[in-house]
Chains A and B, each alone.
Chain A
Amino acid sequence: MAWLDKAWVDTALETLTAFFLIAGALITFISSFGMVHLRDFYLRMHGPAKATTLGVGLILVACMFYFLLIERTFHIQLLLVTIFLLITAPISAHLLAKVALHQKLPSDISTTGAPSELREEDVGQEPDTPHPEDPGSGQRHSP
């Protein structure tokens, strides 16, 4: 890769590394601050589920740029960690939401609407209109 030996490439890589480091650390800090600051569990889950993955991914991208700067080689292992975090963070967030609904954690007073697992009166109710292909209800056309 001959284009990597130019003088401006070093400056560009250094700037990119510093930018991605600061951006990733800021986003990580903001997500953890949101986890302390927000009011109930369903709100607090937003930070770790989305923003932490982005922040750590940006720090790993910064590390890739840094090793491109000092060794002139790409390292795929760091991308592997990023892809693994991108795959596993939604799964753990989904399982944690299921745990919270299972334990019926209280939500904030200003939360409007609720998932059907938390609405006791709606569970088991019959629908208003019968299903068109249901043979037991409605008019039946004789063949």
Chain B
Amino acid sequence: MKFNSWYLSSLLISFFVLIPIITVFTSFFESTSNYFEILKNTFLIEYILNSLLLLFSVLILTFFLGTGSAYLVSFYKFPGCNFFKWGLILSFAVPPYIYAYSLTAFFENYGTAFTILKNLFGDANYNKFIPKFDGMFGAIISISFSLYAYVYILARSSFLYQSQNLIDLGKNLSFSKFQSLHKIILPAARPAIIAGLSLVAMETLAEFGAVDFFSINTLTTGIYNSWITFDDLAFANRISFFLLLFIFSLFILENLSRKRAKYHFNTKGGFKQKEKIKLEGNKAFFASLFCFLIFFVGFLFPLSQMLYWTIKFPENLLDLEITDLVLNTVYLVMLSSVVLLIFSLISNYGNRVSNNKILNLLSTLSISGYAIPGVILAIAFITFIAWFDESIVKLLGFSSIKKIFIGSILGLVLVYFIRFYSLAFNGIKSGYEKMNISVDESAYLLGYSKRKTFINIHVPFLRNSLLFVIILISLEIIRELPITLILRPFNFETFATTAYISASEDLLEAAAVPSLFLILIASLFIIITSKYILKEK
């Protein structure tokens, strides 16, 4: 019995999550149109080089922003440090594509910067003095300021776990502050920082909205364009294959680093709470300035820009069907949350009660979905459905199932499931990890059946984790762009797709209203969950 129910559910989930990967790998060897030959000799190298340039630039910048700010708020007291502790994660609310719109809107010819200068100093041609943040440079800035928080959160939590004993040891060895940072603090936090950078790397390679907006040819935009412009699914899958190779290397690196980060500190020897050093004078000023600039550029700037345009062009607010967008978003969030929570609970509970290695392996496979870019997931899903429809459904004499899965809410929710399953699974798993298995056994011995233990002991205990998972899923779905763009039903829009469509039609002012709503809703969710994201114990 045990084998059947738990294995079956885990197998189903794993198989489902693996569909896109299997599709991409099998499609790699299929023939394609001449377009592939043309691209192979011309653009494919460009796709790869652009992706790598973007990747390394973003990694350098996010390391500097994330680790620097985490170091300051973890080790020092300075004006505003308690605010910056959580304020710095608000940049998560601004997806790279919205950042890109703000950047362009501000620095473009006759943009917001021009207007400010004109109001301050009168009419003149300021355009030639205003720097232009477009193309590759704009994409690097947009993605970095949107994603540095991954490095910030993981580095900060690693710094927090560093015992005062470690710092005292540095003093005892007569290290200066810089030497302590260089020789003790950073090496000790290295696995966490690498884990953060790996997440940034995966997100950067998967990034679609911002690079598309700046018209940069990367692997992700290549996949999208092959499908949209040339209607060549096979070639889209071939590019996906290359991208997946990069992604999987990073996925493995991130997993290894996280495992090492977990065991990097020997807390058995005694953990001593750190005493933060109070900064005075210039040092305090520059620490505050550094954090404020990151907060300002990463969050306040895009928020203000979108707010400014919404106020300046109020007609866009009236044109937008806000009620529909809210209802669509709520509908997607609720449906996806219910499906994700049910399956994640089943898998987690199955793993817990059966404690089986194969089941654990299947669960690990199931959570690999988060590493796969949304564009790949969506295209691979379409490819798979098309193949299934042609090869099996029609062969059996049934009518086509394409409409059920492609361009439908069902298809959208299924692909969200693959993409966000790891969020739900890991969120519940981390809740379960706080509960010793002997707690279950105590319940059995008190006369509770497995079902009663689950309902009366597990669910009340996991209440907070479940809530946290729902908020995280909501946050991701609200920000999600490529999957929604590709798989949504006709005339079904979210804040993200509305902003994208307006921006791609060069109507940046119209993109401001949905972008502003998106930032505000996402900020609200981040503030609610900041207690968990930044937990110190």
Q: Do A and B come from one complex?
A: no
